[in-house]
Chains A and B, each alone.
Chain A
Amino acid sequence: MNGAARTRVSAALFRRPWLRAGLLLSGPTAWFVLIYLGALFLLFLSAFWSVDSFSGKIVHSWTLTNFETLFKVSAYRTIALRTIGIAAAVTVTDIVLAVPFAFFAARIASRRLQAALFVAVLIPLWSSYLVRVFAWRLILAKEGVLNWFLGQVGLGSVNIGYSNWAMWIVFSYIWLPFMILPVWAAIERVPESLIEASADLGARGWRSFRSVLLPLILPGILAGSIFTFSLTLGDFITPTLVGGAGSTFIGNVVYQEVGISNNVPFAAAFATVPLVIMGIYLLVARRLGAFEAL
């Protein structure tokens, strides 16, 4: 293309914003609709099908059997409630851990320390998730590191390896950076003057935090919670590695149904549980401004 033609094309594009918008959007849209959304839709359509137990082939007639099984068999309720419960507990734990840390990092630490803390929070994200989970097995094992330290200081021992307690600790550990970063950013964004003003007006410590800082950083907390909650909700590797008997997650069942039993319709039906929960969660979070803080 010669220079003149190029200018002509640019000018044409510049005069027709819809054309530019269309061109810009075509790539991402095509990618998402074709590769992801279409497949996602078809996948969930299959939740209303069933698998012929004899041939193992999918029967394409509408049925609610999968959902009936989910409701009737108490085991699936137990699994769903356990998954949601632990995801919620992990989210709350991470908020409690992250907020004071982020406050320190954003408001108290020196510039140099801030930079160091930033790198320190990022490093775990670059080191293998699997191996960090695996390291916890050794820490929490009966004759593991934790009990060894407790024994050294004469505190006896705890028996929490391979249990839901272990999962709670490990999930909180793994997803903590995802909470710290948006909360840190949110605290940084709060104008100093606002907090000073609240102090001037006589608000102290807790009160100032609750009524001034908290509402301002809520979008950041929500943004972090999307990840801590969703990532826990959909995991199946951590339960396999550090969970015990009775640590089955929705993800484990879905993975087994797809990867081991070949029952895609049932897997899709069970997967609607986290899908619906996250759908609602995302809509609420967006309304509360979490997406601006992502």
Chain B
Amino acid sequence: MIGSGRWSRIAFAVWAALIMLFLFFPIVIIMLYAFNPSNVQSWPLSGLSTRWFSSTWHNTEVRQALWLSLRAGLLATGVAMLLGTMAAFAVDRFRFFGREAVSLVLVLPIALPGIITGMALNSFISFNSLTFSLLTIVIGHATFCIVTVYNNVLARLRRTQSSLVEASMDLGADGWQTFRYVTLPMIATALVAGGLLAFALSFDEIVVTTFTAGAQNTLPIWIFAHIRNGQQLPQVNVVVLFVILVSLLPVALAQRLTRDTGVLRSGRGAPAPGPARATAAPAIGAGAAP
């Protein structure tokens, strides 16, 4: 079979190593240039300097941008978890007209070029004369985040049986109790995995955000502005370095969650849709990252 011979295994391993190199080389460069003594990036580095770390730490703009991105990400994730779960339940448990279209519609804000989604949301905001603010950012982000939660939860629901819910109701539990003690534990990890992706998406989004944000900067908008005007370029690298280090936590969490539910080939010959979908979910999730 494929990859069974010794040489072909080595060839695959070399290929994987090269892909890793490709993926991480620019990230190493980013980390390196956090220590660039100059404002302009050029190779090789003319020296190493840690002065940008303290100047970034004291930069109130960075803090405000980071704080805004965190709030926007958390709120959008919250909305997405609620609406995405509702849609997933409706699609999994009921037959109704237009059911087939739900997935297609929910995936649109990500699958359509971000610039189109951005323009549409911008129209919505101005139609309702909303002020560009945290609220409008959240509206925009939640719209394209719903699908990540929806996909994860739906995948989980498809693997679980609705008979559990029926049994619970038969035993006299009311809807809330059933949800709290039967349904929620069932979908909890999928919900968190979807939520993590939604947050990652929101946190790094710029195209849609340029159409929905006002004078305040989210972190990516701050980064773009500083990349463009290059006044304190290494500060951008410092911030990204920080974000990468902090993001190891949610990434590790995502890995754990997906592993616990069998993402990474839990049992031989157990091709449950769950694992596959859980691994694939990040794809959708990060889909709108630009």
A residues within 8 Å of B by Cβ?
3, 6-7, 9-11, 13-14, 17-18, 20-21, 24-25, 27-28, 31-32, 34-40, 42-43, 97, 100-101, 103-109, 111, 114-115, 117-132, 134-139, 141, 143-145, 148, 173-174, 176-182, 184-186, 188-193, 195-196, 198-199, 205, 208-209, 213, 220, 223-224, 226-227, 230-231, 233-238, 241, 250-251, 254-255, 258-259, 264, 267-268, 271, 274-275, 278, 282, 286, 291-294
Q: Would A294 and B151 count as touching, CB distance under 8 A?
A: yes
Q: A9-B175, A10-B169, A100-B15 are in contact. Are A237 and B206 (CB under 8 A)?
A: yes
Chain B's closest residue to A207 (CB) is: B2
Whole-angstrom distance between the alpha carbons of A275 and B117 in the complex? 10
Within B233-288, the residues touching A (CB, 8 Å) are: 236-237, 240, 243-244, 247-248, 250-252, 254-255, 258-259, 263-265, 268-269, 271, 273, 275-287
Q: Nearest Cβ in chain A — how far from B231, in angstroms?
A: 14
Task: List the A side residues contacting B123 at CB < 8 Å.
Answer: 39, 42-43
Tally of contact residues, B, Cβ under 8 A: 115
Q: A135-B29, A271-B115 are in contact. Are A21 and B93 (CB under 8 A)?
A: yes
Chain B's closest residue to A220 (CB) is: B280
B57 on the A face (CB < 8 A): no
5 A-B pairs, CB-CB below 8 angstroms?
A: A28-B83, A131-B236, A141-B42, A230-B110, A236-B115
B30 on the A face (CB < 8 A): yes
Q: Would A227 and B220 count as touching, CB distance under 8 A?
A: no
Total CB contacts across the A-B interface at under 8 A: 353
Interface of B is mostly: helix
Task: List the A side residues contacting B89 at CB < 8 Å.
Answer: 24
Q: Would B120 and A177 count as touching, CB distance under 8 A?
A: no
Q: Would A213 and B2 count as touching, CB distance under 8 A?
A: yes
Q: Would A125 and B120 count as touching, CB distance under 8 A?
A: no
B90 on the A face (CB < 8 A): yes
Whole-angstrom distance between the alpha carbons of A126 and B254 in the complex? 12
